[in-house]
Structure 1
Amino acid sequence: MVDSSSLSTRFTLHQLEAFVWTARLGTVHAAARHLHLTQPAISHRIRDLEEELGIQLFERQSQRLLVTELGRNVLVYAERVLASAQDMARLDLRRTITGLVRMGVDESCAIIGMPQILKEIKDSYPALRVDLTVGGGAQLLQKINSHELDMALHTGQSSQPDVTSQFIGLTEHQWVAAHDLMMPDGDFLPAHALNHRIVCNAPPSTLHESASRWLASDGYSFEEYSSCNSLSLMVALVASGHAIAMLPASITRRQVAEKSLQVLRAKPAVPNVPYYFSYLAHHRSDTTARILEIVLRNLQDAGFFHADGSSRDSGRG
């Protein structure tokens, strides 16, 4: 039991935040990257919170930290406190964040996170209108460079001086095939891929570039493929056994779990792809920051990013 006499207001929101994100991400290292802090700072805050509460919050298992039984009780309340603090911080912003935001997202983000992201934006800032454009990364990059969009979520990085491209995580690409499609045992090599019909986005696209580079790593070229501009249709075509494809892992996770798709053990491994939040540098900073906060929280909760790519570094393209 937690001694109620110790529950003075001596513990802080920063301590609760360190505890919650370490619990969510499983390591102090990941929590530190997410919160833009050092690992010692996170460890210190958790240790201080444990001393204030008089309990152990974590136990180590292999390379991860697991929340203890008492810690799980604390976690419920800590998340409520942080959510209430965020709601309080938004009280004025609900009235001051208004107008129209022209927002572009690629299809993988649209499939995985946009319904919840748009709902949270509407609930948090009812006077803010979002005009959504879904397109390929190259198309979105062109639109934000020409100021047709105010912000975009995509795999591209702008080189325009008036557009800021902030790295927000890594996305994972995988070769997939129908679960019952007979494939060679062991590693899946570029030579194996050319024995099957391949479905892929047409260039210029990130998927086409990723697949081309992977084939070229073993001296092969991407000569014949079925062109498709819909990731959802590509998933269906692969699941039906019509073709194989390289696809974002986030949009095939359910089909792999249901065993309608199998992940092929690609050799060489397919590199993870950087993902960016690009925005016009002159756009309202408060609006941009609040939308980015909502986007990151929902995409992370949905498992959109690769586990080792949740850090956020900002940079100008």
Structure 2
Amino acid sequence: MDFLSLTVFCAVAREQSVTRAAALLGRAPSNITTRLRQMEAELGVPLFERQTKRMLLSAQGRIYLEYAQRMLTLAEDAKMAIQPAHTATTLRVGAMECTLASRLPVPLARFKAAWPAISVSLTAGPSAQLLRALAAQELDCALLAQQPGASFPNTLHAQEVPAFEEELQLLCSSGYWAHGAQKVLAVFAPGCSYRAVAEAWLHEHHAGGEGVTLRQVASYHEMFAYTAVGACACIMPASVITLMVPDVTLERTTLCTMPTWLVSRSGFLSTAFAAFSREILA
């Protein structure tokens, strides 16, 4: 079994299509089909359930996919270990949206200047989603937050170090909580650690959230805009607030500080990642 065959298998599993995988890899569809049949003959099991328009993984294929991804990842790690400054590879970084906006631009620019051969792939998402991606080895590292008192899953076997502290602030228009009307608190989707802080604050200060509606939003800009017009309140990091329009007068109350962790997948070691970590933690 060679690495090209593993790459083909993973591409078809991801795209659920021989045609799309072939286009992605720059190969003829017939070549992709031949390699898949050779793999299945060698393994003695069907890796896919072939439908009219889709290629879905079989039960054995789902098991094999996890190992194939590990083998490809280990191959990249090995190349990085031998020739870290010259290997053209990708560092897959996940981060919360607030971290991408307020914390990463400068260290990423410094890292790219020092390591021009390394591409950086960025994925934004809530902390729970980033943890799942790390466990599936879809990311090499991630910057995320954990709810107060929570710990990282033992099954993750990850390496984590505190990167920086975020000051979480309650943001609202003047006198918002004094009015008798129904209140609204803007939050992100479940899985966001800061949403958990917002829900805990409501439970403690507003009778378990009675009289307060949660409005799910897609971005901090949307959250800030609703808050600025008095349509809701929100909780966001002070580092993000400073990026918003400075001449909007809003009440700001510090609720707590939370660490943002730099978490790397199990066994991930490379000189380039060590350099990336130094830039983040500087």
- Shared topology, TM-score over 0.5? yes
1:176 has 2:181 as partner: no
Match of 1:238 in 2: 227
CA distance in 2 between counterparts of 1:150 and 1:193 reads 48
The percent of aligned pairs where both chains have the same amino acid is: 22
Distance 1:192 1:236, change over 3 A: same
Quick check: 1:97–1:127 contact (8 Å CA) kept in 2? Answer: yes
| TM-score, length of structure 1 as denominator length | 0.55
Match of 2:241 in 1: 252
**Cα deviation, residue 252, structure 1:** 0.5
Structure 1: give runs of 5+ residues left out of the alignment: 1-92, 185-190, 298-317
| 1:139 counterpart letter in structure 2 | Q
Quick check: 1:177–1:261 contact (8 Å CA) kept in 2? Answer: no
CA distance in 1 between counterparts of 2:205 and 2:105 reads 40
1:163 has 2:163 as partner: no
Q: Secondary structure at the match of 1:276?
A: strand
**After superposition, what is the alpha-carbon deviation per residue over 1:171-207, rounded to whole angstroms, capped at 9, x for unaligned?**
11111123xx4346xxxxxx87985322111322212
Question: Size of the alignment, in residue pairs?
Answer: 193
Which protein has the bigger strand share? 2
Quick check: 1:97–1:125 contact (8 Å CA) kept in 2? Answer: no
Match of 1:116 in 2: 106
Quick check: 2:164–2:281 contact (8 Å CA) kept in 1? Answer: no
Match of 1:197 in 2: 184
**Cα deviation, residue 272, structure 1:** 1.4
Select which of 109, 127, 132 maps to 2:117. Answer: 127
**Cα deviation, residue 231, structure 1:** 1.6
**Cα deviation, residue 287, structure 1:** 2.1
Match of 2:279 in 1: 294
**After superposition, what is the alpha-carbon deviation per residue over 1:254-289, rounded to whole angstroms, capped at 9, x for unaligned?**
447x24142334xxx622112100002322242222
Q: CA RMSD in A?
A: 2.6
1:272 has 2:257 as partner: yes
CA distance in 1 between counterparts of 2:133 and 2:197 reads 22
Structure 2: give runs of 5+ residues left out of the alignment: 1-82
Quick check: 2:135–2:156 contact (8 Å CA) kept in 1? Answer: no
CA distance in 1 between counterparts of 2:200 and 2:181 reads 14
Distance 1:244 1:199, change over 3 A: same
CA distance in 1 between counterparts of 2:164 and 2:239 reads 13
Quick check: 2:171–2:252 contact (8 Å CA) kept in 1? Answer: yes
Quick check: 1:175–1:244 contact (8 Å CA) kept in 2? Answer: yes
Distance 1:98 1:162, change over 3 A: farther
* Runs of 4+ with >6 A deviation: 191-194
Quick check: 1:94–1:126 contact (8 Å CA) kept in 2? Answer: no
Distance 1:217 1:285, change over 3 A: same
